[in-house]
A and B are shown apart, each in its own frame.
Chain A
C-alpha cells in the first residue's frame, strides 16, 4: 500500500505507541474467500455490516475474560452450548405435527368461525378528512336543579334563644367572684400572717429584754461579788502585810535591845579608854600645866643650852686665838 495507514513504534521511553489514520471498513467478500484486489470501491455500508453489533448491548453475552485461558472450561462451555442446541432441536422434532396430506391432496388453511373474513395482507384503508366548524359560543350550561325529593322543613331562631344571659353568666360570675374572694382571702391571710409575725417579734423582744435584764443583773451581781472578793482579798493581804511588819518590828526590837545591852558597857569602856571621861583638874593639869611646865623646862634648858653653846663658842674662840697666838709665836 502506498499510503501508510497505521504504524506501531516505540517512543523514547520505551512505551508502545500505536497510531492510525481513520479509514473506512472494507467489505468482506465472505468467509474463506481472498480479499478483493480493489479495496476502494467496496466500502461497505456500516449499517449493513454484520460485524457491527446491533441493538442493546447490555444483554449481550459477555465473554468471561478468565475462561479464555482455561481450555477445559472453554470446552465444557462449548459442550453445554451444543447440548442445549441439541435439546432444543430434539424438542422441536418431537413435537407432534399435523400429518402429511394424502396423495393428491393439499393442506389449506381454512377459517372456522361463523363469519368468514377475507384474509389479506393488504389492509383496506380509507382516508377521511374532517374539519371542525369554527367555534360557536358555547351556551351557558343550565343550572342543575335536581328534582325535589324529601320533606320541606323550616326553622326560626327567636330572640334570646341562642344566648341565655343567666346561664351563660353563671360560670363567668363564679370565676370572677371566686377569684376576687380568693385574692382577698390571700391578702387577708397575708396581713394576718404579717400581724402574727409582728406579734411574734414583739413577744420575742419582750422575752429578750426579760432575759437580758436577768443576764445583766446576774452579770452585775457577779461583778460586784468579784469586786468585793478582790477588795477583801486586797484587804486581807494588807492585814497580812501589816502583821508581818509588826512581827518584824518586834523581832528587830528584841534584837536591838539585846545588842544594845552589851553595847553600853563596851561603849563606856572604850570611851573611857579613849579618854573621853576625864577629871577636869587632872585634865587641866595635863593640858595646861604640864605643857607650860615643859615649855618652861624647855626654855630653861634652852637657855642653859644656849649658855653652854655660848660658852663653848667662847672657849673655842679663846682656844682659837691662843692657837693663833701660839702659831704666831712659833
Chain B
C-alpha cells in the first residue's frame, strides 16, 4: 500500500512472515520514537496467536531484556503491555518462565512510572495463574510483600489489587514464603477497606494463606476473626465467599473453633446457607454456600457447636436431599449432617481423658 501510514503512532508492518522479525529488528534502533512505534505495532500484531508463536519461536523475547532498562518510560510501559498480551498464550508463558527474563522484569517493580508498574503487575498476575508461573514467582514473594507494604501506604488501589491477587495465586501453591513476611497481619489490615476490590482480594489472600497450618495459627493469634466475621455480611458475594472460606479453614484447628463459637458465627452461617434465591444467583453463590457448609461441619466437631446445630438439623437434612441442588452442595450438607450425628466421637475427642 503506497502513501503515508494511516496511524503515525505505529510503525509500518511488513507483509507475511517478515512482519515480526522486521519489527523486532527495529527495536534495536537507537531512536526512542522508532522503538515506541515498533512496540505499538507489535502490540497490535501479538493479538494473533500465529504471530505470538512466530515471535517466541524466533527467540525474539531475549531482545526485550534490553528494553526493560530503557530510559524512556513509555517504552518500558509498552514493553510490559506487549508481554501482558503475550502471556495470554501458553507458549509465551513457557518461554518467559524458562528464559532469564523474570529477574530483570521484577526489578521494574520499583520503576518511577506508575503505568509501567501497573503493566508489569498485570504480567506477573497472569503468570501467577499458571502453576509453574506461581512456582517461579515464589522466589519473588518477599519483594512483592515489600512492594505491597509500600503501596498500602501510598494507597494506590489498582496496584494493590494486582499485588494481592498475585500473592494469592502464589500462596495457593505454597503459603510459607508469604507467611514468613508477615502476610497475615498485612492482609488482615485491609479487610475492612472501603473499596470492594481490595476487600475481595484481601479476603481471597487470607483464604489462601489460611489453607496452611501456620497461616491458621497466625489468623487466630492476630485476632482477625472478628473482621472476617464482619465480612460475612458484606454486599459482594465474592467477599462473603472468601470470608466463609477463611472461617472454614480456620475452624479446622481447635483454637479457631473456639474463637468462632465465641463470636457466635453459627447463626450467620446458617442464614447464608438457607437463603433461597433464584437459579442464576444460586450459581454465583455456590461457592459461598459450599464454604459455609464446610465451616459449619468444622464447627460441629466442637460440643457447643454440635448442640447448636442439632437444633437446626432438619434444615441441613433438607438441603442435603433437595434434588435440584448441586452435587457438591449436597455432599457438603451430607457431611455436615453426618458429623452432627456422630455423637460419641465428636464429644470425646474434644474433652481430654482423665482417669
Contact = CB atoms under 8 A, between A and B. Distances in A.
B203 interface: no
A212 B211 contact: yes
Nearest to A238: B355
B335 A206 contact: no
Contact of B252 (A201, A209, A220): A220
A206 B290 contact: yes
A207 B352 CA distance: 34
Interface in B247-267: 248-249, 251-254
B286 interface: yes
B245 A209 contact: yes
Nearest to A201: B129
Contacts of B287: 206, 209
Contact of A235 (B211, B345, B350, B353): B353
Interface string A234-249: 0110010000000000
Contact of A216 (B129, B252, B286, B290): B252
Nearest to B248: A213
Contact of A209 (B88, B291, B354, B355): B291
A79 interface: no
A325 B207 CA distance: 144
A228 B301 CA distance: 15
Nearest to A220: B252
A236 B286 CA distance: 47
A217 B301 contact: yes
A211 to B, nearest CB: 9
Interface residues of B, number: 34
A212 B248 CA distance: 10
Interface string A162-174: 0000000000000
Interface string B284-322: 001100110011011001000000000000000000000
A216 B211 contact: yes
B182 interface: no
B328 interface: yes
B353 A217 contact: no
B43 interface: no
Contacts of A231: 352-353
A228 B290 contact: no
A214 B294 CA distance: 7
Interface residues of A, number: 24
Contacts of A212: 211
B352 A209 contact: no
Nearest to B208: A209
B298 A213 contact: yes
B253 A209 contact: no
A210 B349 contact: no
B349 A216 contact: no
A208 to B, nearest CB: 8
Interface string B322-346: 0000001000100100000000010
Q: Interface centre among A201, A219, A224, by most B CB within 10 Å?
A: A224
A228 B286 contact: no
A232 interface: yes
B294 A210 contact: yes
A217 B286 contact: no
Interface string B75-116: 000000000000010000000000000000000000000000
A217 B252 contact: yes
Given A216-B249, A231-B352, A224 B291 contact: no
Given A209-B211, A224-B254, A231-B352, A214 B335 contact: yes
A184 to B, nearest CB: 12
Interface in A178-213: 187, 194, 201, 205-207, 209-210, 212-213
Nearest to B129: A201
A298 interface: no
B349 A228 contact: yes
Interface string B254-282: 10000000000000000000000000000
Contact of A207 (B249, B298, B328): B328
A221 interface: yes
Q: Interface centre among B248, B291, B297, B301, by most A CB within 10 Å?
A: B248
Contacts of A220: 252-253
A221 B301 contact: yes
Contact of A210 (B253, B332, B352, B353): B332
A217 B298 contact: yes
Contacts of B248: 209, 213
A221 B298 CA distance: 9
Interface string B236-251: 0000010001001101
Contacts of A187: 47
A120 B350 CA distance: 160
Contacts of B301: 217, 221
Interface of A: 187, 194, 201, 205-207, 209-210, 212-214, 216-217, 219-221, 224-225, 228, 231-232, 235-236, 239
Given A209-B287, A213-B248, A217-B294, 5 more contacts: A210-B328, A213-B295, A214-B332, A228-B349, A235-B355
6 contacts: A206-B286, A213-B294, A217-B251, A217-B294, A228-B352, A232-B353
Interface of B: 47, 88, 129, 172, 207, 211, 241, 245, 248-249, 251-254, 286-287, 290-291, 294-295, 297-298, 301, 328, 332, 335, 345, 348-350, 352-355
Nearest 3 pairs between A and B by C-beta? A206-B287, A220-B252, A213-B248
